[in-house]
Chains A and B, each alone.
Chain A
Amino acid sequence: MKRYTLLLLSVLLVLGLLLSACAKATPTAAPQPEKTEQPQATEAPATEVQPAKEIVFYNWSEYIDPEIYTLFEKETGIKVVEDNFSSNEELLAKLQGGATGYALIVPSDYTVKIMIDQNMLAPLDQDKIPNLKNLAERFRNLYYDPGNKYCIPYQWGTTGIGYLDGQVDKPESWSVLFDPDPNAPYYGRMTMLDDAREAFAAALIYLGYDANTTDEKQLEEAKQALIRAKAALSGYDSDTYEDLLASGENLMAHGWNGDFLQAQEENENIAYTIPKEGGVIWVDNVCIPATVTPEQKLAAEMFLDFILRPDIGAMISEFNYYATPNKAAEANLDADFLNDPAVYPPQKVLDRLQFIKPVGDAEANYQRMWDEVKAAP
């Protein structure tokens, strides 16, 4: 999921944020499309909105088969251009900085919640998305967007540990990271995600706490566990960790299931597991930012309907190795894929998975403690 276009962007981004702060001085810009959408729906015959000829899809890198764009363009004449981000925080910061022009974005669950609360998303016109019926029942009323008013679940997955089978034993517990054995072969050859919330979630789950705790004592304990883990890490990496595992540079990595499965193409010894204490479950969603024009929104909704088709839904999973929330697409997928516990964990594992959720003002605590972990010797 989270491969990337690079840090260099962030320099430009920071600059962009500052510059666009001027543009933000016209506060009417953002909510406008929503308002204009309403009357257009009623007086539709008079001023029929034509879909935009080209839309920009702001997505995680290597998360969609580019062939899908070609098929979509052939069918509708609408060109989809892709741009990439590498973390939810980056996506949020960029949109808050006033970035416009994106017709589709892919925030994860907790970021959807934040964006809805901040009025950053345009409500979907569900009549334009008849294929919504293909969505599995359990993805229709998720905590962050009940009734799919704003977003369509895109793919879902888990965060656990990937390892090189044969070179290290299967990690049964998160203790391999948080109470590492200095004599183990994996010592110094592991990475953790460079992501404050994911890292803390892993430590909190190991300690038996809620992954979204705001209790300072528990966070402090988690911080200590993360500092213990740091000694055994070769680095923090959210972007190339699966490649480093495939090349044999590292033997173990904290990461997202589909990334490891993708890397199996390079090294078949890569395996993925969720330790006995549990792990993180997440759902990525395709949403429409509030800043779109009605023309872009219509084109975006056509694209949403397109990717909800059973054949296209299957193409997405075949490309990125993540589980699909598209029930109808499952008929087009291999039984091997559907039965792979690394993609579709059995119920008893699912029960031990937790969502990362927005924590409000405690967010600052998480980030500050994460800096302390990063600065620790």
Chain B
Amino acid sequence: MKKLLTLLRKRPSFQAWLLLLPSAFWLFVFFIAPLFIVLIYSFLERGTYGGVQWHFTLENYRRTFDPLYFKTFGRSFYIAIVTTIATLLIGYPLAYYIASRPAKRRGTLVLALMIPFWTNFLVRTYAWLTLLRTHTGLINVTLMSLGWIQKPLPLFGNDFAIIVGLVYGWLPDMVLPIYAALDRLDHSLLEAASDLYASGPNVFRRIVWPLSLPGVVAGSMLVFIPSLGAFVTPAILGGGKTLMIGNIISNQFLAAHDWPFGSALSFVMMAVMLAATLIYFRATSDEERRQL
């Protein structure tokens, strides 16, 4: 024991390793090991009613290129990108507004932004149902009774409803990183720009926007990735009529008894997300990321 202690004192790196042990263990048991199982399963054949048969095959990966699933990937991409752009358009002004308030009020505003998100995601999604329903939803019923529209608007059971649900769901993930970036903005730069007769739009375009870009990229990643894999929102707000890649994956496990194909699809999706992350690292420098 004493030896161990002296060793620890002499070799600080040992201390670091020792401290890492719990988290490394956690990461291994709950992340690496399951991931490894998914990887192995993705190369096996399906059992007729679930489970796997231990025969090696590449068939599952070949099937991910099936036009049907390829199209679904495309559709998920489309929905995720529109969601990200919409979240950015709503989230950026909001973050800017919060960041430009006096320091005392910012905390309150951030809290106000977060409070609705303490409610369970499913409950919030179902709440949208009450608003968006075609014939009994609050929005259509109100507009119809006011006589502003004759026929109910198609608000539910389509891509629009899915995107509304996703934008709402991930908005804080966009606002917070942008807010963090804007919060750190050196205001003397803005004053300097004004002193040099830069117009308002120019100050934004040439100073504020570039300096907040790391926050924008981080926020976009945080919104894009979960939107791409969404499966609850399309099932509830999309009326189950739009298939996203997350639905196909969950179906492979819960309905189709095809674990290997579900695993292969998960891996392909992870590859796509990894690519997105790499783009993020390319787009930002180490220095910028450290600020966040």
**Beyond A90-B254, A364-B46, A364-B258, is A6–B122 a contact (Cβ under 8 Å)?**
yes
Q: Does A374 contact B (CB under 8 A)?
A: yes
Report B-chain residues with C-beta under 8 Å of the C-beta of A368.
68, 256
Closest to B34 in A: A18
B241 touches A93 (CB 8 A): no
Partner of B240, one of A19, A96, A235, A360: A235
A367 touches B253 (CB 8 A): no
**Docked complex: B10-36 residues within 8 A CB-CB of A:** 30, 33-34
Q: Does A112 contact B (CB under 8 A)?
A: no
**Docked complex: B236-290 residues within 8 A CB-CB of A:** 236, 238-241, 243, 247-251, 253-259, 262
**Measured CA separation A189–B134 after assembly (Å):** 9
**Beyond A93-B50, A363-B48, is A13–B71 a contact (Cβ under 8 Å)?**
no
**Beyond A96-B50, A363-B49, is A234–B157 a contact (Cβ under 8 Å)?**
yes
Report A-chain residues with C-beta under 8 Å of the C-beta of B238.
235
A194 touches B50 (CB 8 A): no
Partner of A248, one of B136, B156, B248, B258: B136
Q: In the assembled complex, how far is the CB of residue A227 from the closest CB belonging to chain B, in whole angstroms?
A: 11
Report B-chain residues with C-beta under 8 Å of the C-beta of A364.
46, 256, 258
Report B-chain residues with C-beta under 8 Å of the C-beta of A230.
241
Report A-chain residues with C-beta under 8 Å of the C-beta of B120.
8
A371 touches B243 (CB 8 A): yes
Q: In the assembled complex, how far is the CB of residue A31 from the closest CB belonging to chain B, in whole angstroms?
A: 15
Report A-chain residues with C-beta under 8 Å of the C-beta of B1.
none
**Beyond A7-B122, A189-B135, is A92–B49 a contact (Cβ under 8 Å)?**
yes
A249 touches B240 (CB 8 A): no
Partner of B239, one of A87, A92, A233: A233
Closest to B49 in A: A114
Report B-chain residues with C-beta under 8 Å of the C-beta of A191.
239
Q: Does B38 contact A (CB under 8 A)?
A: yes
A234 touches B254 (CB 8 A): no
B134 touches A10 (CB 8 A): no
A96 touches B51 (CB 8 A): yes
Q: Give the one of B38, B48, B133, B239 with max A CB within 10 A.
A: B48
**Beyond A14-B250, A375-B68, is A89–B157 a contact (Cβ under 8 Å)?**
no
Q: Does B131 contact A (CB under 8 A)?
A: no
Partner of B133, one of A11, A249, A372: A249
Q: In the assembled complex, how far is the CB of residue A237 from the closest CB belonging to chain B, in whole angstroms?
A: 7
**Measured CA separation A188–B235 after assembly (Å):** 17
A15 touches B34 (CB 8 A): yes
A249 touches B134 (CB 8 A): yes
Q: Give the one of B72, B122, B156, B257 with max A CB within 10 A.
A: B257
Q: In the assembled complex, how far is the CB of residue B96 from the closest CB belonging to chain A, in whole angstroms?
A: 33
A249 touches B253 (CB 8 A): no
Report B-chain residues with C-beta under 8 Å of the C-beta of A215.
none
A248 touches B243 (CB 8 A): no
Number of interface residues of B (CB under 8 A): 47
B243 touches A375 (CB 8 A): yes
**Measured CA separation A21–B29 after assembly (Å):** 12
Q: Does A236 contact B (CB under 8 A)?
A: yes
**Measured CA separation A250–B232 after assembly (Å):** 21
A-B contact count (CB 8 A): 124
**Docked complex: B123-171 residues within 8 A CB-CB of A:** 133-136, 156-157
Q: In the assembled complex, how far is the CB of residue A226 from the closest CB belonging to chain B, in whole angstroms?
A: 12
Q: Does A196 contact B (CB under 8 A)?
A: yes
**Measured CA separation A223–B251 after assembly (Å):** 18
Q: Does B111 contact A (CB under 8 A)?
A: no
**Beyond A13-B254, A371-B251, is A249–B136 a contact (Cβ under 8 Å)?**
yes
Q: Does B179 contact A (CB under 8 A)?
A: no
Report B-chain residues with C-beta under 8 Å of the C-beta of A375.
68, 71-72, 75, 243
Q: Does A247 contact B (CB under 8 A)?
A: yes
Q: Does A46 contact B (CB under 8 A)?
A: no
**Measured CA separation A10–B232 after assembly (Å):** 10
Q: In the assembled complex, how far is the CB of residue B161 from the closest CB belonging to chain A, in whole angstroms?
A: 10
Closest to A188 in B: B134
**Measured CA separation A235–B253 after assembly (Å):** 22
Report B-chain residues with C-beta under 8 Å of the C-beta of A15.
34
B250 touches A10 (CB 8 A): yes
Q: In the assembled complex, how far is the CB of residue B153 from the closest CB belonging to chain A, in whole angstroms?
A: 13
Q: Does A38 contact B (CB under 8 A)?
A: no
B37 touches A89 (CB 8 A): no
Q: In the assembled complex, how far is the CB of residue B9 from the closest CB belonging to chain A, in whole angstroms?
A: 38
**Beyond A237-B240, A249-B135, is A10–B257 a contact (Cβ under 8 Å)?**
no
Q: Does A22 contact B (CB under 8 A)?
A: yes
Closest to A5 in B: B122
A367 touches B256 (CB 8 A): yes
Closest to B137 in A: A249
**Measured CA separation A368–B241 after assembly (Å):** 15
**Beyond A18-B37, A87-B255, A235-B157, is A247–B136 a contact (Cβ under 8 Å)?**
yes
Q: Does B97 contact A (CB under 8 A)?
A: no
Binding site for A on B (CB under 8 A): 30, 33-34, 37-38, 41, 46, 48-51, 68-69, 71-72, 75, 120-122, 133-136, 156-157, 231-232, 235-236, 238-241, 243, 247-251, 253-259, 262
A-B contacts, 26 of them at CB < 8 A, read A7-B231, A7-B250, A8-B232, A13-B253, A14-B262, A96-B51, A118-B49, A194-B240, A195-B255, A230-B241, A235-B157, A235-B239, A235-B240, A236-B240, A247-B136, A248-B135, A249-B136, A361-B48, A363-B49, A363-B257, A367-B258, A370-B255, A374-B241, A374-B243, A374-B247, A375-B68
Ranked 4 nearest A-B pairs via Cβ: A235-B239, A236-B240, A367-B256, A18-B34
